[in-house]
Chains A and B, each alone.
Chain A
Amino acid sequence: AQTVTQSQPEMSVQEAETVTLSCTYDTSESDYYLFWYKQPPSRQMILVIRQEAYKQQNATENRFSVNFQKAAKSFSLKISDSQLGDAAMYFCAYRSTGNQFYFGTGTSLTVIP
């Protein structure tokens, strides 16, 4: 089975600064998808960004971007110009060829005013 590891249980960032959240995964598949989800206190899961493994170009969504290193099986999330509303749990997720999803244990992000 695939595993997803988030080694930073907690991170903090000053408002307007940049923070990077780490994620590594283990798989023998060559075709898969990677995601970052945000979960605020409301518990609603919100998709932040996704990356197709066959694409070499890193995905970008406004202030959010990823650094996808396929050989290293690494998928980090960079949040630029951090805002108070970015404070939440962030989960890295892997979607297998068989459409099963595997989630990491999450990183709790605090944004300091």
Chain B
Amino acid sequence: NAGVTQTPKFRILKIGQSMTLQCTQDMNHNYMYWYRQDPGMGLKLIYYSVGAGITDKGEVPNGYNVSRSTTEDFPLRLELAAPSQTSVYFCASKDLDEAKNIQYFGAGTRLSVL
């Protein structure tokens, strides 16, 4: 009963480094989302996907890239990390069926860019 799994849980990056945040779900959900949560703030949508091969920008996509080659996986790529990307990142998934209109969240990845 894994649900949405994010790795790693914590990471410290140096300015200019790159990394990939991993997200996988085992519920066969079509929709997947990446959010960031800055201290004391709500979640802001970075990118989302409505299915394999399809991705769209959210509110704050600059500095990030995503891909969706399978239904299960939705990795988030940070190129040239900047201090402004210090945040907690959440991945979520949702079923296509409107009757099951619930997002399931991962436990989050805390990223610090120093």
How far is it, in angstroms, between the C-alpha of A86 and the C-alpha of B103 when the chains are bound?
Answer: 20
User: Which among B11-19, B20-28, B40-48, B70-78 touches the partner chain?
Assistant: B40-48
List 8 additional contacts besides A44-B105, A50-B101, A52-B101; criterion CB under 8 Å.
Answer: A45-B90, A45-B92, A47-B103, A99-B50, A101-B33, A103-B42, A104-B42, A106-B40
Cβ distance A96 to chain B, nearest Cβ, rounded Å: 10
Given the complex, which residues of A lie within 8 Å of B88, measured CB to CB? 43
Main secondary structure of the interface of B (DSSP, over half): strand
Q: Among B31, B44, B48, B102, which residue has its beta carbon within 8 angstroms of that of A47?
A: B102
28 A-B pairs in the complex with CB atoms less than 8 angstroms apart: A1-B59, A4-B42, A6-B42, A33-B101, A35-B103, A43-B108, A44-B107, A44-B108, A45-B43, A45-B92, A50-B102, A52-B101, A91-B42, A91-B43, A93-B43, A99-B50, A100-B45, A100-B48, A100-B58, A101-B43, A101-B45, A102-B45, A103-B43, A103-B44, A104-B42, A105-B40, A105-B42, A106-B41
Given the complex, which residues of B lie within 8 Å of A47, measured CB to CB? 102-103
Given the complex, which residues of B lie within 8 Å of A52, measured CB to CB? 101
Q: Is A78 an interface residue (CB 8 A)?
A: no
Q: How large is the interface on B (under 10, 10 to 19, 20 to 34, 35 or more residues)?
A: 20 to 34
**Residues of A bordering B, CB below 8 Å:** 1, 4, 6, 33, 35, 42-45, 47, 50, 52, 91, 93, 95, 99-106
Given contacts A99-B48, A99-B50, A100-B48, contact A45 B105 (CB under 8 A): yes
With both beta carbons as reference points, the residue of chain B lying nearest to A1 in the complex is identified as B59
With both beta carbons as reference points, the residue of chain A lying nearest to B41 in the complex is identified as A105
With both beta carbons as reference points, the residue of chain B lying nearest to A39 in the complex is identified as B37
How far is it, in angstroms, between the C-alpha of A93 and the C-alpha of B58 when the chains are bound?
Answer: 15
Given the complex, which residues of A lie within 8 Å of B40, measured CB to CB? 105-106
Given the complex, which residues of A lie within 8 Å of B59, measured CB to CB? 1, 102
A101 close to B103 (CB less than 8 A): yes
How far is it, in angstroms, between the C-alpha of A9 and the C-alpha of B88 when the chains are bound?
Answer: 19
With both beta carbons as reference points, the residue of chain B lying nearest to A44 in the complex is identified as B107
